[in-house]
Each structure stands twice: as C-alpha cells, then as structure tokens.
Amino acid sequence: MAKLYRLLTEEDTSAFCHKVSEALAKGWELYGDPTYAYDATSKVMRCGQAVTKEIAADYSPEMKLGQQ
C-alpha cells in the first residue's frame, strides 16, 4: 500500500477548479490549504492545491500520478 502526493497548479481560471474536481472524482483527497501566488514570468495569478491518495500497490517513481 502506498500513499501518493501531487501538487496541482494552474492559472487562476476555471481550469484549476476542473483539475482539482477531476482529481477528487478519481479518489484523491485534498491535503492542506490551497495556495495563491503571482507568477511574475507569465504575469498571471496561479493556484495550487496538494492532494493525496492511497493505492493498493507499491510506489514507483515511474508511476504517472495523474493516472492513479
């Protein structure tokens, strides 16, 4: 059994909400508070949310976390 961790990020648009909603629909759970910061390079606000998920497999760095 492994516990996986992902940090979801996106510009501050509905795309971020859809990304988090999709992860929740796939069994991921929110971890901690969301974050919000200005990206000076692209001059946009960005959101971030950590999520975790327990799976019935051993962890491997080759895993594609978004497909779990």
Is residue 49 within 8 A of residue 34, CB to CB? The reply is yes
Torsion of CA 18, 40, 36, 27, to 10 degrees: 40
Question: Does residue 7 sit within a domain?
Answer: yes
- Length of the chain as a residue count: 68
Structural domain count, the chain: 1
Each residue's pLDDT, cut to its tens digit, for the chain (68 residues) gives 899 999 999 999 999 999 999 999 999 999 999 999 999 999 999 999 999 999 999 998 998 988 88
Question: Does residue 68 sit within a domain?
Answer: no
Phi/psi for 33 (5° steps) reads -85, 155
Question: Does residue 62 sit within a domain?
Answer: no
Structural domain boundaries, residue 41: 2-57
Q: How far is residue 34's CA from residue 26's CA, in Å, rounded to a whole number? A: 19
CATH value at residue 33: 3.30.70
Q: What's the pTM value of the predicted model, to 2 decimals?
A: 0.88
Question: Does residue 46 sit within a domain?
Answer: yes
Q: How far is residue 36's CA from residue 24's CA, in Å, rounded to a whole number? A: 19
Question: Does residue 63 sit within a domain?
Answer: no
